[in-house]
Every structure is written in C-alpha cells, then in structure tokens.
C-alpha cells in the first residue's frame, strides 16, 4: 500500500476481548496496523457477545466453546489456549464485563483499553482465569497500574454502560454480527461511507490488499482526491 492515504479514513475493528476468534486474530491485526498508510487511523469498537449473567454456563455450551478453541488451534497456527480453564474455573456466558473493563481502563489512561484487552485475553486464554469475574478484571487493572478503586467504580457505572451501549449500537448500524469484523469509514464529498473489509486470520495481506482497492475506488469517485493527482 502507499505510505499515505488519499483522504482521511478510519479502520474500525469490532471485537470482544472474550471472543476466541479475536484472540486468534491479534497477531495478524498487529501486522495490519503496522502496515497501514499514515492517513488511516484504527479504532477499536466493542460489540459484546453475551450480556451480564450470574448463571453457570450450560455444559453443552462449554463443550461447544472448548471445541471452537481446538478448531482455532488447528486453523490458526501459533494460537494457544489453556484448556484447564474449563475445569479450573466456573464459566459464565458473560462477556460484557470484560468489554466494560476496556472502557473503564481507557477512562484513566490513553491506550489503556488496548492494554486491558491484551491482559484479558492472556488471563483468559493462557492463564485459565475468568474475565467474567470482577475480581479478575480488578486484578488486571492493578497489574496495569490503574487506580483499582476508580476502576471498580467505573466498571459498572451508568456512564460506562452507556458508552458500551453506544458502541454496540454502532456495530448494529454497520451490520456487524460477528467478531472480529473490520469496516473502513472514509470521508467523501457526500459525507461518510462505510465498507466492510475482508480479513483472514492467517494473512494480513488479504486485508491490506482489500483496503488498497477500497481506497483507490473511493479516490476515483472523489473530485477532491482527483484534483490532487
């Protein structure tokens, strides 16, 4: 791709920190971000696979998700999971707390949302800890050097819940139904345009090549861009 984008654009990455396919995509996403043109910014957008719940995860769902982990290990080489999670923890189908943890972390420090996402993924997938539990999330916040008292308060605050709701609504408006998903948002003469972006868990080039095609197509239709060529 070119070193600069023809006009302002944002690559939206919709995810959930407790989405196993997002964990499998982490290395490829980093490669994509490292190769993005200077004019494209990346924005994380939190969806949310499962609302708050205190109920134990049904045995059939545990079996299904455990199978997904093994499927990912086969199809995305190098992705690792600690399968002890299913015996050492008491799983719940509840990912929204982990999503809110990213928002609460960002409220304290720029970039802390990404740090929290990585910490949650490593705790969950490598260390068999349960990010559905507040104590796990607060412990991770402490590890990141955040104010744990403030973090604990923000984790369930109305403001944090409202922000998560806002981000979920954007996901719905963009037609995002699964994670990870990527959308390129560009500014055109007629306003903003959104384009779904192809991704491959094993290849950054699939996304980078598609982005290049989308940007070229946008430029060919934008007189502002053409006037600069």
For 31-69, write each residue's pLDDT tens digit.
999 999 888 889 999 999 999 999 999 999 999 999 999
Element holding 11 (H helix, E strand): strand 9-15
More confident residue, 89 or 8: 89
With residues binned 3-state (H G I as helix, E B as strand, rest as coil), the percentages for the chain, rounded to 5, are: 50, 15, 35
Checking if the pLDDT of 228 tops 70, the result is no
Q: Which residues are registered as beta bridge partners of 184?
A: 11, 195
pTM: 0.90
CA 11 vs. chain centroid, Å, equals: 12
For 105-115, write each residue's pLDDT tens digit.
999 999 999 99
- 8 Å CB contact between 123 and 89: no
Q: Would you state the structure tokens that stand for residue 80, as one six-digit string?
A: 């690792």
Q: What is the mean pLDDT of residues 134-153?
A: 98
Q: Which residues are registered as beta bridge partners of 186?
A: 9, 193
The sign of the torsion formed by the CA atoms of 131, 136, 137, 140 equals negative
Residue 195: helix, strand or coil by DSSP? strand
Among 32-36, 47-51, 144-148, 185-189, the least confident range:
185-189
**Strand order in 9-15's β-sheet?**
40-46, 9-15, 181-188, 191-197
Instruction: Give me the phi and psi of 43, to 5 degrees please.
Output: -125, 125
**What per-residue confidence (pLDDT) applies to 4?**
39
9-227 CATH = 3.40.30.10
Instruction: Give me the phi and psi of 155, to 5 degrees please.
Output: -55, -35
For 68-109, write each residue's pLDDT tens digit.
999 999 999 999 999 999 999 999 999 999 999 999 999 999
């Amino acid at each position: 791709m070119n070193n600069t984008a023809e006009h302002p654009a944002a690559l939206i990455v919709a995810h959930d920190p407790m989405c196993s396919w997002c964990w499998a995509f982490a290395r490829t996403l980093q490669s994509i971000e490292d190769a993005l043109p200077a004019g494209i910014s990346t924005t994380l957008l939190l969806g949310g696979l499962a609302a708050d719940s205190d109920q134990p995860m049904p045995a059939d769902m545990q079996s299904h998700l455990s199978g997904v982990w093994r499927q990912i290990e086969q199809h995305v080489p190098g992705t690792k999971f600690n399968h002890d999670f299913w015996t050492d923890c008491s799983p719940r189908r509840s990912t929204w707390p982990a999503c809110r943890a990213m928002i609460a972390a960002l409220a304290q420090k720029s970039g802390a949302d990404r740090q929290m996402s990585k910490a949650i993924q490593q705790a969950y997938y490598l260390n068999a800890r349960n990010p559905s539990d507040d104590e796990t999330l607060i412990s991770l916040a402490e590890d990141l050097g955040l104010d744990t008292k403030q973090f604990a308060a923000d984790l369930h605050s109305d403001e944090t819940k409202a922000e998560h709701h806002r981000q979920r609504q954007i996901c719905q408006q963009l037609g995002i139904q699964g994670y990870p998903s990527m959308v390129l948002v560009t500014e055109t003469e007629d306003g903003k345009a959104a384009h779904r972006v192809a991704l491959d868990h094993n290849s950054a080039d699939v996304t980078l090549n598609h982005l290049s095609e989308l940007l070229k197509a946008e430029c060919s239709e934008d007189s502002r861009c053409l006037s600069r060529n």
